[in-house]
Amino acid sequence: MSNNTERFKNAYREAYGVKPVEVIAQNNYRTDFYKSFLWRLFLGSVKLGLPLKWSIDYFRAVLFWGGGIAIAELNGAVVPFSYSVLTRNKWHYPIKVEATGELADEIGEREVGVDCELIYMESADYPNAPYSIGIGSYIDIYAQKLANCDGAIDVNLLVSRTPYIFGCEDEKQVEDMKGLVNRIMSGAPAIYYKLARKASKAPQQKDLPLLKTPVKENFVALDTQIAKRTIINEFLTGIGINNANTDKKERLITSEVEANDGEILAAVSLWQDNINRGIKRAKALFADFFADNPLTIEFVGLQKSSTLNEGKAGDENESN
């Protein structure tokens, strides 16, 4: 990793008050790994149809991670850009925005519905909040949970490597026991040691106290691994992916699938409805451009749930 990248990560942590020594998930490489992993899962749950000249990675990051994206005309071309809200109407809907990021100076301020339109996932209608809410904070929470699970597994595996603790009377005995255990672990078929003499003034041979840690009873790595799968399934449901019965070996339980479908519809229907409304307004404002260019955003989970429900209805009609 380059020095510039490392300096950026350190500056980010300092700016956002991330303290690596805290017990809660640190902003470490493990957390970053799960952010990337969950982000890929989310992107795989959405189908996009965009103009060829638009950057799909930029569009995804601004709309889905940040929660909203604006569309306006610039130098004869219609382009997407990130924005911040300047003014809202009495119903709290943005009426004036300004571009942020790389296009801030070129686009400047725009009036919504006049020379720009907004596409957003979910609005945050409370004081001092950004207008749109994206998947970024959602991914952060689940990445931290998964990183904490990994940390617990690592600690548990390390602890399981030290199951025996011997109590010794002095340093010489400590060193003797170290040598004895080393010979045992190296595969010696037999180990010999000298007993103390039974003369009246000689110390009597004593059994060394042995503490054997209950490794099996304390081994929770497998349970934690199952917890990770549960966390991932919960995340998948939240982004509209059906994951019912993925951990069961018996036959599929219809009621569980139907319940999962209900959660999927509740989780992403709002996103889909808001996005559809934004697309409709954008196509109306820039009709000439979108007459020859696609703009579609569809959540795969909603499509599959709709297809399953249609098939079920068809089966019921045939049986009647």
Write the secondary structure of the chain as one string of H (helix), E (strand) and C (coil): CCHHHHHHHHHHHHHCCCCCCCCCCCCCHHHHHHHHHHHHHHHCCEEEECCCCCCHHHHHHHHHHCCEEEEEEECCEEEEECEEEEEECCCCCEEEEEECHHHHHHHCEEEECCCEEEEECEECCCCCCCCEECCHHHHHHHHHHHHHHHHHHHHHHHHCCCCEEECCCCHHHHHHHHHHHHHHHCCCCCCCCCCCCCCCCCCCCCCCCEEECCHHHHCCHHHHHHHHHHHHHHHHHHCCCCCCCCCCCCCCCHHHHHHHHHHHHHHHHHHHHHHHHHHHHHHHHCHHHHCCCCCEEEEHHHHHHHHHHHHHHHHHHHHC
Tokens at 243, concatenated? 């994951």
Distances (CA, A) of 65 to 40, 173, 214: 12, 61, 45
Read off the tokens for 91. Answer: 């119903």
**Residue 68: what pLDDT?**
94
**Amino acid occupying residue 274:** N
How far is 52 from 48, CA to CA, in rounded Å? 11
Measured distance CA(99)–CA(118) in Å, rounded:
12
Confidence at residue 320, expressed as pLDDT on a 0 to 100 scale: 43
pLDDT at 72: 97
The two most distant CA atoms of the chain are separated, in Å, by 109
The sign one gets for the Cα dihedral 25, 27, 32, 37 is: positive
Instruction: Report pLDDT for 267.
Output: 75
Mean pLDDT by runs of 10 across the 320 residues of the chain is 58 51 59 94 94 96 94 95 92 91 94 96 69 88 93 81 74 84 80 64 58 70 91 90 59 54 79 95 96 94 54 46
Predicted confidence at residue 254, as pLDDT, reads 54
Q: State how far the Cα of 221 lies from the Cα of 144, in Å rounded to an integer.
A: 17
* Per-residue tokens: 231: 């966390």
Instruction: Give the list of residues 6+ apart from residue 296 with CB closer than 8 angstroms, or none.
Output: 47, 48, 49, 279
> Do 41 and 241 meet the contact criterion of CB atoms below 8 Å apart?
yes
pLDDT score, position 113: 95
Alpha carbons 218 and 18: distance in angstroms, whole number:
31
Place of tokens 């934690």: 224
CA–CA gap between residue 132 and residue 151 (Å, rounded): 33
What pTM does this model have? 0.72
- The CATH architecture that domain 48-135+254-313 belongs to is Beta Barrel (2.40)
What pLDDT does 69 receive?
Answer: 96
Contact 271, 122 (CB under 8 A): yes
Return the bridge partners of 85, or none: 97
Q: Residue ranges of the domains in the chain?
A: 48-135+254-313, 161-187+205-218
Instruction: Note the pLDDT of residue 231.
Output: 94
In the numeric block, the tokens 């995340």 are attached to 235
